[in-house]
Structure 1
Amino acid sequence: MGRCKERLLGALVLVGVLAVSACDSHGDILVPGSSDSAALDGPTEAKVKKVVRRFQDTNRTPGVLVGIWSPKGTFVSATGVADLATGAPLRADMQFKIASQTKTFTADLVLQLVGEGKVALDDHISKWVTGVPNGDQITIRQLLNHTSGLADGFTTPTVQGKVTTGCTVTELLSAEAKFPPVAPPGTKWSYSNYGYNLLGRVVELAGGQDLSTAVQQRIARPLGLRRTLLPTSGNGLSKPFTHGYGLGDVGPTQAPTTSDDATALPASCLWAHGSMVSTLSDMRRWSRALATGALLKPEVWAEATKNPIPFVFAGHYNGPGKWRYGLGFVESGGFIGGEGSFAGYESTAMYSPARQTAIEVVSTKNPNAITPPPTFQALAMTVYGTDIGFGLTPEQALAPTFTGAEG
């Protein structure tokens, strides 16, 4: 149901405050809970390191980035190598592809435009884009929460055939429109990358600027995200960055080799649903802003968080725990954020407003048997105990269950 392994790339793409806060001297929005704290206590840190080791050793990923920022303490680690060819060590400041965490940015831009009266959640997509299957019945709201019934789009052979060379937006939307819907609008949750590319086009038409510029002017600059962008060419990465591995048939527990390096793949065929790059520190700040509605009007954020939909990804990518989808974000146990996976990279960035805690997990290999979303849950339970509302135990969260097979 929307989460499928592509044999060509050995990859998946989900895949990622109620008032505007005060600004610092640089004009950056200061989001509550942004200050650093002391390190985690010794026993907790030891348990966190054990989770990280298990994640890395089971998946055999070249590199793992993990960040925990909480009132109980801070933990930031970069383990492994950034480049198998040179053996260069992974660093916490390195850029990586965030894949479908891009969707949280696209959704926030749409919701900003809703607050400005330029877009309505009940607009039909046919108002903005022609030629969409069932376009006169599908609403912006349904595109945001994946109940449009549209096909995934990205996993179709037409789009996959262009991934290595690149796509224009017109080519992407035209190709994705040719595949029949998987359900009538509003009847079921079904993950659609196509739906988010349509939302990207809505941002451009309603906001009057290209999507990459909108990300910079409306999100990255106000929040002080220094190395976060939606590329207009190439893969978007700039030094220092980490390589990612996932070409060919690398298995979920198989160590990749230099021939599996997927770093150079261009981003254009992922566009509004998955093309962005960022860093651990930038995504920490973004996760707070996202989870608190910092860039949105209070009434829009209230609507975005109303009645999120329970969902299960194909192959139980998120593990056996409880997950819900709002208007552009995932939620579990009061943590709000995003997740993404594409050839070479898998990640999740989550923030709990109640606990003022951000947790991130990044792998430089795709696919993985233990994926970042349940690993985040295991880390959160390590810090706060099991009574969070995830609907699973730490051992269940760390069970190597994902096979990368179609589901």
Structure 2
Amino acid sequence: MAERILLVDDEPGVLDGLRRTLATKYAVEAVLSPAEALKKLEHSRGGSNPFAVVVSDMMMPEMNGSEFLTRASEINPLAVLILLSGKADVRSTIAAINTGRLFRFIAKPCSPRDLQKAIDEALAAYHASKAESDLLEKTLAGSVKVLAQALAMASPEIGGRTNNVIELVGGAARMLGQSHSWELRMAARLSQLGLVSIPPEVLHRVEGGIEGTAGEKSMYREHPAVAKDLLAEIPKLERVAAWIGGQVADATAPPPKSETDPDQRAELQRQIFTCATEFLAAKDIGEWPPECAARLTAGGRYRTDVIQAILKTAQERDKAPDAVSVTINQLKVGMRFVRDVKATTGATLVRKGDTVTDAVRVRLQNFRTYVGVVEPLRVTPVKETF
């Protein structure tokens, strides 16, 4: 797939000449205004083939090239930026070079050969930057997955709650076209990280809907802030940390205030994540999903389509018309328990509604060997994961 080049110049003749020069070698889109160019950048973000290079004239009536490229960089941080400028614009151009994330400045008029050479070098820089970014994202994703599995193995309560968030977020994300978001996936998997600071007996009471002391309630409400502090210093997880810090831990407490993200797509993802945590908190106090949806709709803090997507996901996951009986050896990752799993001593090992993970399977196999587990187990088949 050819890399896409975006050209911006308010002079139709100049723009057409640039497009003809480059179209034989690159996938070029040419626009006459910065506003239109920003719309194209926004539309391409998150897609399979975003713009790799943005080439802009300096002097334009709506906004100059420096201002435009600054905004373009905010929309697509990986795009490589090239500025075209005449001699009369030298002062403004120097300011753009000093303050912007500019890859190359080319004086006008320029030869087709010089322009193509600059774009080839820009594409090489784009490939290197994208490879580094992809590697970092994959490394983060793998690390977070291992951490989530370790948490689930150490604490079934934390693992169960994490899986609940993952399923609610994943279902809503698919309905709203946001399942591509790695940040949303990371937020869901790390959402309950702060619970490691809470004694197991307190978590047992929360899971069981038992009223705790004022100190225990305060401790529990602080778990999002604990997770935020743990994650805040990790590169590329700043937004994820902010989302997790703004999640709702207790439906009986006033919801935390959170800044609306000016990035519309990121704001939609934040709402999906936070709304899912509100549904989870509502479950802790025995509030049914339709009641929670009605309360959140009246509150006006979330888009209606977000609330309805979470509600639909919650209702679908609570249904179990296709439940089957299996042994521990037949468990597959992604299955959901439709009744509590108990040891032969009567202790509850896994709660109804929790999802089968590698950690859960290992735990049940160990209990069967050394204590005994009541079988068969009742589960629903594997469903699409997030």
Structure having greater relative contact order (Cα 8 Å, sep ≥ 6):
1
| TM score, norm. by length of structure 2 | 0.26
Structure ranking higher in helix proportion: 2
Larger Rg: 2
| TM score, norm. by length of structure 1 | 0.25
